[in-house]
Amino acid sequence: MDNALVARLSHGAALDEADRTRLRALSSDPALVPGRTELARQGDRPQHVHVVLDGVACRTRLTSEGRRAILGLVLPGDVCGLHAFVLRRMDHAISTLSACRVLRVPAAAIGEVMAASPRVARALWWSTLVDESVSREWLVGAGQRRADQRMAHLFCELHARLRVVGRADGTSFALPLTQEELGEALGLSTVHAHRARQALRGAGLVVARGGTITIPNLAALQGFAGFEPDYLHLDERRLEEVG
Amino acid sequence: MDNALVARLSHGAALDEADRTRLRALSSDPALVPGRTELARQGDRPQHVHVVLDGVACRTRLTSEGRRAILGLVLPGDVCGLHAFVLRRMDHAISTLSACRVLRVPAAAIGEVMAASPRVARALWWSTLVDESVSREWLVGAGQRRADQRMAHLFCELHARLRVVGRADGTSFALPLTQEELGEALGLSTVHAHRARQALRGAGLVVARGGTITIPNLAALQGFAGFEPDYLHLDERRLEEVG
DNA sequence: CGGGATATTGAAGATTTTCAAATCAAGTGG
DNA sequence: CCACTTGATTTGAAAATCTTCAATATCCCG
């Protein structure tokens, strides 16, 4: 398995070996960042793009009442902050949840690699646009799905996304989130997030032990959640080869 | 007041007169589309970018249970479908709500105008990225705000966005949505959407009559909603001039 | 081992959905 | 002009879902 950035972007465009080498060159010297650390602050004018190579981070916004909403999870191979090239200021913050290995790539280096390879440029845009598609799906879930279905849907999504970067096998993946963070991500109170997860456990759809989620029957969980993976755009590369 | 596209994009980058002329050239021959008509279907490979010049459209996704979620409202001056240049397939549909005047701009024409003017290119990207920021704010609201606050927040947002394109005065704007559509946008049942709006009316925060929303005291409504307009990025042009 | 954070549980109360019925508004054809 | 139809709004009431508060249990780190 290649590094997470290469693995992920390979799903966004048909990269050649030179492209992979360019991406690996960006991936030297990642920083080790502890959990619960802000990588970028809301209102910042970022000079860097962040790439998570290991661990879990998140996009967050604070409400006027001082509560925190988690707008999206940033998994290994995910790129954050590309949009700040255009939208000068961060309209949300990026924080680590667990300890992470993170690249801080200077804006100029991103510009160079995008100029050098239109395929990498496409893959990077693909990556941000998929993030947006995921965010839209979270919005659908927030409006239409019950707490337990929403939790199930999140687990299905994480499994699919982590699988692509080799961080999940057929049935399990690590999920280093507290119930509070899970609640912030799903728009639920901590207590109700707990109960929703427990309901999934009770129904035998999910086993949660020691920070690891196991899904004994993926099809059953997907059915319960109404999970349809199209929104993850995981097949974009194939489409490009065909079309 | 210039046409809505020019008015809106002028907030995204410091356009010069040549840029405005380019945009006006795109704006000839808009189509008249009735309400409740699909402009682009989920799963499509779009060949066109849509620009709404008048009326209200929306982005929607269907859930596996067959319900419709409205993911965002498309107002005069808004551009849809730019992301399909990269993400071959539409991951959501675009439908009109009211009757609309709509431009269908061929992908090639967009490519040309972006190549001809980096300022227009930046303004177009700005426009899509602001849509995403708005979508994130809807996600915050869905998770954290009560129905009445969410409704109030939507009204504040629509007022701010419509003002920019000359479709709202200091206190009023047209809102041609049914309660059902309002509910789909806010993630509420039709009945509860109705009651939330009625609560705002009862509190004197909003007057709703004949498809028109009037806000007697904008500061009061904004306070009630916890509305902070940063996420609309309405000052990007100024930032660029300064920075 | 101690202490702080996290998880778990119960119960009351708030919010929201659902269902069903009544009212209203606008257009259509007689 | 009126009866009729259709779609939208409005209201009530019961049930489902979710939050809050408070207490207890468990885990993990130093």
- Alpha-carbon distance of A242 to B45, in angstroms, equals 13
Q: Check CB contact under 8 Å for B187 and A228.
A: no
Percentage of chain B modeled with pLDDT above 90: 91
Q: Given this model, what pLDDT does residue A241 score?
A: 47
pLDDT at B242 over 80: no
What does each C-alpha distance from A41 to A29, A91, A228, B168 come to in angstroms? Answer: 22, 9, 33, 33
Q: Which nucleotides of C are covered by protein (CB under 7 A)?
A: 6-11, 15-20
Q: Quote the minimal CA–CA distance from B99 to chain A in Å.
A: 25
| Nearest-by-Cβ selection for B91 from A142, A186, A233 | A233
pLDDT at B239: 52
Q: Residue A81 has what pLDDT?
A: 93
Which residues of chain B are within 8 Å of residue A233 when distances are taken between CB atoms? 87, 89, 91
Average pLDDT over residues B86-96: 94
Q: For residue A227, give the amino acid letter.
A: F
Per-residue confidence (pLDDT) for residue B241, from 0 to 100? 47
- The nucleotide lying nearest B181 (C-alpha to C1') is D8
Which pLDDT score is estimated for A88?
86
**Looking at chain A from residue 143 to 162, which residues have their Cβ under 8 Å from any Cβ of chain B?**
143-145
pLDDT band of residue B1 (cuts 50, 70, 90) is: low
CA Rg, chain B, in Å?
A: 18
% residues pLDDT > 70 (chain B) = 97
CA-nearest of A219, A55, A243, A24 to A120 is: A24
What are the contacts of A186-190 at 24+ separation with CB within 8 A?
A: A186/A141, A186/A142, A186/A147, A186/A150, A186/A151, A186/A154, A186/B143, A187/A69, A187/A142, A187/A150, A187/B139, A187/B142, A187/B143, A187/B144, A188/A147, A188/A150, A188/B143
Read off the pLDDT of residues A174-203 as tens digits, 9 standing for 90 and up.
999 999 999 999 999 999 999 999 999 999
In sequence order, the β-bridge partners of residue A208 are: A213
Q: Which residues of A touch B230 (CB under 8 A)?
A: 43, 91
> CA-to-C1' distance for A50 and D17, Å?
38
Q: In the complex, which nucleotide's C1' lies nearest to the CA atom of residue B199?
A: D10
* CA quadruple A36, A61, A150, B42: dihedral, nearest 10: -130
Q: For residue B58, is pLDDT > 90? A: yes
Which residues 198-227 of B have a C-beta within 8 angstroms of A?
Answer: 226
Contacts by residues A234-239 (CB-CB < 8 Å, ≥ 24 positions apart): A234/A11, A234/A160, A234/A164, A235/A11, A236/A11, A236/A12, A236/A13, A236/A126, A236/B87, A236/B88, A237/A10, A237/A11, A237/A12, A237/A13, A237/A14, A239/B88, A239/B89
Phi, psi of A100 (to 5 degrees): -130, 150
CB atoms within 10 A of CB A146: 11
Q: pLDDT per residue over A116-141, tens digit each?
A: 999 999 999 999 999 999 999 999 99
Please provide the DSSP assignment of chain B as one string. Answer: ---HHHHHHTTTS---HHHHHHHHHHTSS-EEE-SS-EEE-TT---SEEEEEEES-EEEEEE-TTS-EEEEEEE-TT-EE-GGGGTS-S-SSEEEESS-EEEEEEEHHHHHHHHHH-HHHHHHHHHHHHHHHHHHHHHHHHHHHS-HHHHHHHHHHHHHHHHHHTTSB-SSEEE----HHHHHHHHT--HHHHHHHHHHHHHTTS-EEETTEEE-S-HHHHHHHHT--GGGG-TTHHHHHHH-
> Tens-of-pLDDT digits for all 243 residues of chain A?
689 999 999 999 999 999 999 999 999 899 999 999 999 999 999 999 999 999 999 999 999 888 999 999 999 999 999 988 888 899 999 999 999 999 999 999 999 999 999 999 999 999 999 999 999 999 999 999 999 999 999 999 999 999 999 999 999 999 999 999 999 999 999 999 999 999 999 999 999 999 999 999 999 999 999 999 999 998 776 555 443
pLDDT tens column, B160-170: 999 999 999 99
For A144, which of B45, B63, B135 is closest by C-beta distance?
Answer: B63
- For testing contact with chain B, the best of A60, A144, A188, A241 (most B CBs within 10 A): A144
The residues, ordered by sequence, that sit 6+ positions from A110 with a Cβ below 8 Å of its Cβ are: A49, A82, A85, A124
Cβ separation B61–A136 shorter than 8 A? yes
Taking the Cβ of residue B140 and every Cβ of chain A, the question of whether any pair is shorter than 8 Å is answered with: yes
Q: Name the residue among A60, A93, A241, A70 with its Cα closest to residue A150.
A: A70
- Is B66 an interface residue toward A (CB < 8 Å)? no
A/B interface, count of CB pairs below 8 Å: 126
Nucleotides of D under 7 A from a protein CB: 8-13, 17-22, 28
User: In terms of pTM, does the model score above 0.75?
Assistant: yes
A87 contact residues in B (CB cutoff 8 A): 126, 129-130, 133, 233, 236
- Cβ < 7 Å from nucleic strand C: A 178-180, 190-191, 194-195, 197-198; B 146-148, 187-192, 195-196
- Taking the C-alpha atoms of residue B215 and residue A109, their distance in angstroms, rounded to an integer, is 48
Q: Provide the CA B213 to C1' D1 distance, Å, integer.
A: 34
- For B86, the closest of A64, A122, A139 (CB atoms) is A122
Mean pLDDT of chain B: 94
Flag if B187 and A86 touch (Cβ within 8 Å): no
